[in-house]
Chains A and B, each alone.
Chain A
Amino acid sequence: MTEQSGGTLCKQALRLVRREMRGGFRGFGVFLTCLFLGVFAISGIGSFTASAREGLLAEAGSLLGGDLEISLHHREIDDQALNLLTALGQVSHVMTMRSMAADLTGERRQLVEVKAVDPAYPLYGSIAIEPTQPLQSVFITAEGPGALVERSLLERLELQLGDRIRLGESVFTLTGIIESEPDRTIRAFNLGPRLMVSHAGLAATGLVRPGSLTEHAYRLRLPDRETVEDVKAELQQSFPGAGWQLRTWREAAPRVRFFLDRLNLNLTLLGLCALLVGGLGVYGAVRGYLHGKIVNIATMKCLGAPTRLVFTAYLLQVLLLGAIGSGCGLLAGAAVPWLLVGLAGDRLPLPLAPALHGEVLLGAALFGLLTALAFSLKPLGTVRRVSPAILFRGYRHAAEQSPGPAVWAAIVLAALALAALALTISSDKRLALWFIGGATVCFGLFRLAAILTVALARRLPRPRHPALRLGLGNLHRRGSSAGNALFSLGLGLTTLVIVIAVQANLNDMVSENVPQQAPAFFLLDLQSHQVERFEALARSLPEVSRVERYPTLRGRIVAIAGRPVEQASIAPEVQWAVRGDRFLSYATQMPEKTEIVAGDWWPADYRGPARISLTADLARGFNVGIGDTLTVNILGRDITAEIASLREVDWSTLELNFAILFAPGTLEDAPQTHLASLHLPEHRQEEVFRVLTRAFPNISVISTREILRNVSRTLEKFGAAFRGMAGIALLSGFLVLGGAVSADQHRRINDAVIFKVCGATRWNILTAFAAEFLLIGLAAGLTSLLVGSLASAGIVKGLLHAPFRLHPGLIITTILLGIGLTLLLGLLGTWKALGQKPAAYLRNE
């Protein structure tokens, strides 16, 4: 007989597929749902972030406040530069700083984010004010200067529009509420509500002094925004040492975009977890479906169907169904941005521009199809080797055959393609590699756990209780689905444990466990002439245990070991240090609780060339050591300093410290303010806050507890997104378990009937099944506890460099919930078996 050509084979296979599909999607519910959920999760988050990026770009002008922004700290640009800017286009000058606002009685005070604007503001977009009124009219009233506020400031100071507040040496009438600011996006980590005034109004407060922590932004609106790169280059060339930061509209909202990238990456990886767990559902469904087709396949083989034809036909069917499941997931995922805009509209913290993002959808579709392929190849390979001889036996040989080396090779290739795809779409390759490695190890561990559980069940002494004995026996019986169920449930539970444990540790860092030694307050903007009076007052206050103070300046790292930062290789975890201006200080004495890990601290009377002490984590991330140099731009001047010592700093104590500390002799004459911290017990904090803010109206007092609460709230919001994604993974796990139980139902009904004939009561059968599911749940739970805790410890310690604390209560609750649901789901699935009337079943057999 001649070998069939590829075309003939495909035609015959397609004919078989058409016949097989006459029965519709029966038996493929779990298959389709698992793929749907996984692909939906990936395409949904991808579409959301892509639409947010588009939205940011579309509104880049108003988000940046212009086509080009020149920002600098502590000082304004000089007239020469301003003249050039004015010649290039329309200019708007915005100044921001933090300060304390108070009601006129001085009883209530609140840290505010002050923003001073000029008549040209905003160059793009518009500010929404309630009641509606032109912006410039709000700053002048009959009683004096006016100010706009965010609603939360009115609530905190218990004021109304028309009331007056004190800022520095001035009193402002509150003329309107800011509903939205065009140049402000996600309000995640702001320290206080906004207070908007005019430049003249701010100048009158007396808050702006040399060294004050002010930020100036000059926004430029060009006649043609596409020329922005040329203008940027021209400015850089004309003022090479100006110490400005220049940002074009294409680079608007860099923090938001960075945040979006991280959000996208992390949630996509979690979505991939859901898809991988769902892959087990695909495996179970295909295995179950093909198991029911064994007699058909054996018959076809008896009638002369070649193995290749059988394999091709069922492979095509799986791919077709995979395309349907993934397609539905893609549609739902692609609809997410539209849905969000429809539901939340203007309340969204980001501008969304809903669109179909081909690249995102293609990636998600490939994930879906590759998962369907990778997880269905084994059962397909096994079933193609079915012997027609089974038709002549009363019982099928329960032991599965190996799918053969060619199919194993195809499985490995599909898995590698999945890994390569995950790597390709990830912006952080290192994290993607960790994920791939972690997922592989997880799969390996759960496979091992499944083998060990089955082996242990076989070797354990037979329990005296018959139900337990049967339940235990069901775990290691041939054709048992225990391994698959343990695998799927365990992976889902592990994902949830990781997310919950990581979030609990992040919460630990910021909320419940304010370190014992943490200061109660940080005080910004203390002027040099106020230092003596401040220290005297602070030390005279009862129960103030410690007062620390450092002179502070702001500076930007511009070169590392002589290489400009743009060309230097910098580890991702310390990128933050070169992203903008950082606080710097100088010190004669080494700060308390500091450990020098390399080099030496300078002598107290040192007055030589510029030297710095750097934290060890920055040195590692910058790949520099003792004797290397860092160049820091401070107030427009580049200062190159040699690294004299490296310090290990435990930032989690929240003690006052600096990544870069200069030796004496370099920065003393630069304009500077002071940063101080105060340690005192919680019950005294309110009173001390009042005394300090009254005595020093210009300084900003930041409560540690308040910041941590703010961060905690933000974490909670994002935590919900992560828990939701992990929930999808767990839901997939339960679906797979449900599928495994359902695929096993025929066997269970058969067993239950025979058990009844042999004298088993319903309670006997129920307890036997319950024991089986309980044992699966326990094994899955314990393995998840171990793997999830190890993985979360790895993430918290390895990636976040934070201390890890096991949360046994939280994790055990998660696991118990998982076990409880397994039991419930398993028993619901076997309810039919329990209620089966033996006579009717036996009659039909």
Chain B
Amino acid sequence: MNFAVIKGASYGLIQACNMVVHQGTTQTSEKRKNPDSEYLKKLPEQLRSFEETVQYPPNQAYIGNITPHELADIPRPWYENPLEDANRVGKYGEIMPEDEFIGLIKVVDVFDLVFLEKNFQESAKEKIIIHPVLKDLKGVTKLEKDGMDIEEIEKIVQREYAAEPIYYEHRLVGYVKKAHDYDQALSAHVMFENLVSKASAVYALALLFQKTDLKAQEVDYIIEASEEACGDMNQRGGGNFAKAIGEVCGCVNATGSDTRGFCAAPVHALIEAASLVQAGVYKNVVVLAGGATAKLGMNGKEHVAKKLPVLEDLLGAFAVHVSENDGINPVIRTDVIGKHKIGSGGSPQAVTQALVTEPLEKKGIKFSEIDMFAVEMQNPEITEPAGAGDVPKANYKMIAALGVKQGEFDRADIDNQVARFGMPGFAPTQGHIPSGVPVIGYARDMIMQGKINKAMIIGKGSLFLGRLTHLFDGVSFVMENNTGKVDVGTGVNKEEVRKIIAEAIRNLAGSLKT
């Protein structure tokens, strides 16, 4: 059996302070209910500068400049211990400032919906045309024309529902207009969110091509795994963000589709990708996703009240390359797959059992053989002030607790086990973004260096938020060291057979002579 391999991963972060204020749903909901609220007044004062966000240790871990284990050694609060010589460019990816990203949104817009103030557009263009990852994207030339006067922009944005405003440094610099007169699926706000998701995923894919050997023309298939929907009123979630993203990046030999599963989607998509490659349907599949403006500043009220910086100021994005077994890269064990079944039950115990115990038990793998678990990797500095606790740690403790219940170790050992197979959370609270995937780049490196053998990647999703089911969901797989043996064919190798026969005849001839 030839398992597929994980050949590379890239990670992008985009600082989007103005989108926190104008598009984060905590803020837009507050504006609707209580436009004069103290919170909305205080929020802008606690936003971070780009430099602060680059130097923030969890962000450096996300783009691969420090490992999650190195992050654990940095004292908390991390926002009081910045990495002073940190770079926006990382081993696996990059951090982008908001003005470049706004320019990128116009680059990826193919329906003339995005308009920017001419001076702002010019300065964004100057940055993009020299950016090694962005300069060759399809659509960069759009930044050379259609720059508008600010007065025109103000007039259009004032018309109700006509356009979604874009701000930078607290001033209006452009808008995304509605794509249809009354179709709500093509409203200005929906188009804005979808273009942000598309643009951030484009960034991650372009980073993948820069950081790894994969070329755009080599990609056969793209699976997009965000939580947005694109379509029109007759097919509200028609989709295929994947193909739209591939188009901008020059993936001329690829098609794609979108996988939806709330936060569990990326891991579902990776299992799908591995299966497609293993079955010989495609050679090179990329699983990717962009970020969500809705979740920006989601827990902002608690951060502002407790005088923390607004830590949820980042859009997240990633891309993972799944390819044919090359005897080198870590394999995706499609025979060690966990799934939360419809009949599994909703308690944390039932969920953890379905995702961790069942697949390992089936193959006789002990918990102690899994060197690393990748769970929901939300940064605890974001979630703790909001009362949601340390999500990765709770997940790790659940896994350890299950190990106790199965008699693999003692209750007193829980903390040791957590220290052995766990690591601190470091990803932004962007839903699908922290779910298992952030650890893949690191786990791959550790496996290639021979430091670990097996890592289990787990994704979980809250399906009940869609109001169609009360069910939870999750899937998992094991990533493992490549043994180096690659199956060359399924049937009899004729050349081998000829060699064997020739040898047998030589031996017979030899024995007849004597």
Q: Do A and B bind each other?
A: no
B residues near A (Cβ < 8 Å) are: none
A residues near B (Cβ < 8 Å) are: none
